[in-house]
Amino acid sequence: MPRLLSQDEIDALLTQVADEPRDDGERSKADRASNVKAQLYDFKRPDRLSKDNIRSLHLIHDRFARSCSASFSAYLRSMSDVNLVSVDQFTYFEFLMSLPDPTCLSVLSMAPLEGNAALEINPSIVFPIIDKLLGGPGQPLAEVREISDIEYRIIDGVIKQALKDLQESWAQAIDIKIEVVEFETSPQLIQIAAPNEPVVLVTLEIRIAEMSGMMNLCIPSRLLEPVIHRFTQDWYSVSASNRPAEISFWINELMNEITLPVSVFLGRSKLAIRDLVDLDEGDIVILENRTYTPLTVEVNGVPKFSASIGEHARNRAVKVISRIEKRKQPIPPTQPKKSEGDGGPDESATK
């Protein structure tokens, strides 16, 4: 028959167990919980993209911002600057709540990716752009209102230019075709994702003269999931090795769009003041040049071509004969240095 322990024996056993060190396998749940480092996680904002993916997207859209700066400057004929502000992950509901109402919101298709994205341009910069395109100074409205159909047709050219630059920037990772499928002024009427679905929000700042505003590109994360493995640092390191040739190509493309004044120098003539005062319509001024003397064609004030005068389609014209090569300036001969005490002829011989 087992013997029951007295209260003193029970207390002695408990005291001995409390004093003995415990093995890792015999720790209590409280001890294990005290050593576990908890990490905060917001189930309303699940982050589906890694930091490397976000960094790659940042590089792509930084290039997109630089392309937009050049394109907007040429399209608006005014100094424009587009800067990438951030690339973050939010829920679609948070994106909608951050937009003004009304605004300029376009739904985009990004074939072959399944789903739609959204491009929003703030009214604080949309109306100055419209005013600039209509020949005004680019001033904002005193009171923000909805964009009319005619005004959207005007701003549509700027949106298409931005989408062209975006498509070329994405071409480093994936070939896509971006098109506008819907336009809306109220953000609440656009549903490209569920309210709690995570999206990638690319925020850019547009500056035109003294006016500035924000442009937001919203891309649902599920749209990127099939191709997210392509957004790594590898493609950027490969493309960076080809950047000198790429930069040279874009410089040439931009240079081809620059307009320069071209003038033709016909010749000179000397006239007395009395003859100059008596000049009238139909009078003939005889120049020093002969009819067969080649004329000089100047580009931006610099002589570039030799040409002959003529007529083309009932318009006065010149025909380029040859290119004027730039002559190198002759290098003046260096004078030999005189040695100390060198006074020309021998002084002793002249005395």
Model confidence over 252-307: pLDDT tens digits? 777 777 788 888 878 788 888 888 888 888 888 888 777 778 888 888 888 888 88
Model confidence over 234-245: pLDDT tens digits? 544 444 445 566
Within a 13 Å sphere around the CA of 24, how many CA atoms are in the beta-carbon half? 1
Spatial distance between the Cα atoms of 139 and 136, rounded to a whole number of angstroms: 8
User: 3-state DSSP helix/strand/coil percent for the chain, to nearest 5?
Assistant: 40, 25, 40
Residue 349 has pLDDT above 50, yes or no: no
Secondary structure letter of residue 112 according to DSSP: T
Model confidence over 159-198: pLDDT tens digits? 999 999 999 888 878 888 999 999 888 888 888 888 888 9
Residue 351 has pLDDT above 50, yes or no: no
Minimum mean pLDDT range among 13-17, 151-155, 213-217, 340-344: 340-344
| Contact by Cβ (8 Å): 208, 72 | yes
Q: Report the chain's terminal Cα–Cα distance, integer Å.
A: 151
Q: Is 209 left (phi over 0), alpha (psi -120 to 50) or beta?
A: left
The mean pLDDT value for 312-333 works out to: 75
Residue 209 has pLDDT above 90, yes or no: no
* Mean pLDDT for all residues in the chain: 79
3-state secondary structure of 202: strand
> What pLDDT sits at residue 238?
45
Most confident of 138-147, 199-208, 250-259: 199-208
The mean pLDDT value for 150-164 works out to: 90
pLDDT band of residue 350 (cuts 50, 70, 90) is very low
Where do the domains of the chain lie, and which CATH numbers do they carry? 51-256 (3.40.1550.10)
295, β-bridge pairs: 307
Secondary structure letter of residue 337 according to DSSP: P
Type and span of the H or E element at 73: helix 51-76
